[in-house]
């Protein structure tokens, strides 16, 4: 709370970042801690935007990960031998360790989906090089969305409300909270029985007809939403 000079109070939000989502009261900090434990994630922040959990994660590529192993002991210098030896006395050269693949939005969702209830899995994940900070060095939550937009964050988020609703239907029917808009329905565990369930959910939620052939022709949430958009 903040008191104005005239005595009125303004509610400026909860300090503990607790929100209500899908009928559940959840701590955003718990989701953030789970994301920070994901390999390759340096920091994370989660917000509730337009009734959807949105995560912002900072990742950095570490050039040191490509260096050679330092565990091989050094060998003392020797006098040159007049005859070549069949094998090197110091053993084979250490093999460089390949750099880990950068964390993607799908990776982050899959990580949280395996550790948190479905209603706590972010629907959208923005991957940034760094999170915006205040002058005090804390995450500046007010600048998260604008920072993601300016940086052109590496995310596979739904493009609009229609695509989000279709994707949410995919996730619930397949019980795959980490599913992205470009993941195919039938390649993610879907079959003809679940397809009927999905179509029924979409027709009821969107309040419009959804032809079964569209799902077979465009089996991703992004593709199906695009087809529905074209039909008007």
Average pLDDT, the chain: 79
DSSP-assigned states of every residue in 8-77: -EE----TT-EEEETTEEEEHHHHHHHHHTSTT--EEEEEEETTEEEEEEE----GGGGSPPS-SPP---
Strand partners, 27: 18
User: pLDDT grade, residue 94 (50/70/90)?
Assistant: low
Name the pTM for this structure.
0.57
pLDDT of residue 221: 92
pLDDT tens for 14-59 read: 445 788 888 889 999 999 999 999 999 999 999 988 788 889 999 8
């Amino acid at each position: 709370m903040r008191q104005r000079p005239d005595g009125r109070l303004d509610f400026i939000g909860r300090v503990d970042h607790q929100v209500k989502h899908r009928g559940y009261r959840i701590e955003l900090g718990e989701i953030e801690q789970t994301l920070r434990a994901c390999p390759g994630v340096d920091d994370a922040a989660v917000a509730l935007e337009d009734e959807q959990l949105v995560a912002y994660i900072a990742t950095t590529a570490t050039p040191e990960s490509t260096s050679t192993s330092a565990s091989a002991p050094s060998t003392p210098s020797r006098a040159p031998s007049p005859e070549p030896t069949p094998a090197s006395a110091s053993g084979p050269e250490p093999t460089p360790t390949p750099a880990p693949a950068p964390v993607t939005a799908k990776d982050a969702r899959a990580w949280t989906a395996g550790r948190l209830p479905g209603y706590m899995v972010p629907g959208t994940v923005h991957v940034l090089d760094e999170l915006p900070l205040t002058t005090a060095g804390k995450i500046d939550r007010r600048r998260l969305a604008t920072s993601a937009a300016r940086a052109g964050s590496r995310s596979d988020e739904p493009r609009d409300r229609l695509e989000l609703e279709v994707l949410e239907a995919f996730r619930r029917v397949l019980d795959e909270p980490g599913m992205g808009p470009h993941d195919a329905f039938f390649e993610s565990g879907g079959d003809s029985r679940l397809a009927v369930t999905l179509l029924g959910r979409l027709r009821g939620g969107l309040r419009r007809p959804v032809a079964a052939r569209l799902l077979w022709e465009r089996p991703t949430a992004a593709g199906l939403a695009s087809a529905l958009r074209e039909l008007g």
